[in-house]
Amino acid sequence: MSLKAKLEAVIYAAEEPVTLAQLAALFAADALEWKAEQQAAQAEQAAAEANAPEASTDPQLVLNDAFYASDPGVSAMPAGLAELPIPEPVADSAPDAGSGQSAESEPVPPAADAPPAESAGGDSPETAPDSEPDPAAEPDAADAEARRLARLRDREVKDVLRQLIGELIQSCASDNRGVEVREIAGGYRMATKPECHDAVRSFVKSLKPALRLSLPALETLAVIAYKQPVTAPEVNEIRGVDSSGVFGSLLARKLISTAGRKPVVGRPILYKTTREFLLRFGLKDVSELPSMEEFEKLAAIELDEEEPVAPEDTAPEIAADLSLELSETELEESADEADTDAESEAAPTTLENAP
């Protein structure tokens, strides 16, 4: 799969706009490999163009052709003469007669700004060996170089990805496709083209609403799915309640349908699940439903995860509650005793004052 196809797939699958930094983190190695392949292909193409046969541009042959073409008596240059070389002019290398020495022996004056010759005894101050490097500065220099290389690599990867995404945007905009890649909020996102707005709006309006079932409807549907074909009295017996109203709701939503009648007294109607049931729950067929053993294992796992409350943890709370109850009871008893004492003290006074 090409790198451009991978970029298109990621942009299409993402819910939020995908930034260039995210793509660089995912496809750094692919981007560098793609760039190396492009450079190799360009080098091969350049080599092939350089080795391709071209028209002769040898000046010797051009002069010969021009000479014979200018003579009206000769229609073409003989084949044998085309191979003969034209003698090149010889440069005059003889020494000047007036000069007392040859060109080879003429001394060359030194340049005005030439550095002084090095002494045989040692190095000059400019070429003296440097002092020993500081070992503490070497790790800092290595880290700085590593960071610089990392920045260059990241910039190179982003340039490659930006180029490919630009080609992807142009290809989506040029051909007769219904989607395009847009740059939104600092990232890239797949979207439908504006000219397809009416078609998309009509499709969205035709979508079915989300499936929402009550707990009784889910219980009834589960019984039918596992026991199908099953009758309404059998479902009622399993659930322990009347499910007549639930059957109507499930039939209206096309989650269940009739499957004939059971050959018993009264010939009750049989019910089974439909293709809509498989679509809603994402099942290939009813054999993909979890088995009872799997349900038992899940229940056992949930029971094991529940931690029982230790009795010693609640003992202090119970003791505090009991102490509060005892204190309230003692207060009530003391109040009753005080009332009784007051009544007993007031009783003799009333008896003595009686006529």
Which of 23, 35, 1 has its CA nearest to residue 189?
23
Q: How many residues does the chain have?
A: 355
Can you give the pLDDT at residue 100?
45
C-alpha Rg value of the chain to the nearest Å: 51
Q: How far apart are CA 327 and CA 323, in angstroms?
A: 6
Q: How far apart are CA 153 and CA 161, in angstroms?
A: 12
Q: How far apart are CA 266 and CA 268, in angstroms?
A: 6
Can you give the pLDDT at residue 176?
81
Task: State which residues of the chain have pLDDT below 50.
Answer: 62, 76, 81-82, 93-105, 112-114, 118-129, 310-315, 318, 322, 346-355
Which position has the token pair 């610089």?
148
75 to 69, 81, 216, 321, 339: CA distances (angstroms):
7, 14, 108, 131, 155
Q: How far apart are CA 143 and CA 138, in angstroms?
A: 9
Cβ proximity of 164 and 4 under 8 Å: yes
The tally of CA atoms less than 13 A away on the side-chain side of residue 21 is 2
Q: How far apart are CA 225 and CA 256, in angstroms?
A: 9
Q: How far apart are CA 256 and CA 221, in angstroms?
A: 8
Q: Find residue 210's DSSP bridge partners.
A: none
Which of 268, 273, 147, 287 has its CA nearest to residue 220?
273
The tally of CA atoms less than 13 A away on the side-chain side of residue 42 is 6
Structure tokens, 80: 């044998």
The tens digit of pLDDT for each residue in 244-289 reads 888 988 998 889 999 899 998 889 999 999 988 888 888 888 888 8
Cβ proximity of 196 and 209 under 8 Å: no
The tens digit of pLDDT for each residue in 36-93 reads 998 899 888 888 888 876 555 555 554 555 555 555 555 545 555 445 555 555 555 4
Cβ proximity of 182 and 251 under 8 Å: no
The verdict on pTM exceeding 0.85 is: no
How big is the CA angle at 250 (ends 249 and 251), to the nearest 5 degrees? 90
Can you give the pLDDT at residue 314?
47
Q: Which domains does the chain have, with CATH numbers?
A: 1-49+141-207 (1.10.10.10), 215-304 (1.10.10.10)
Give the CA diameter of the chain. Answer: 184
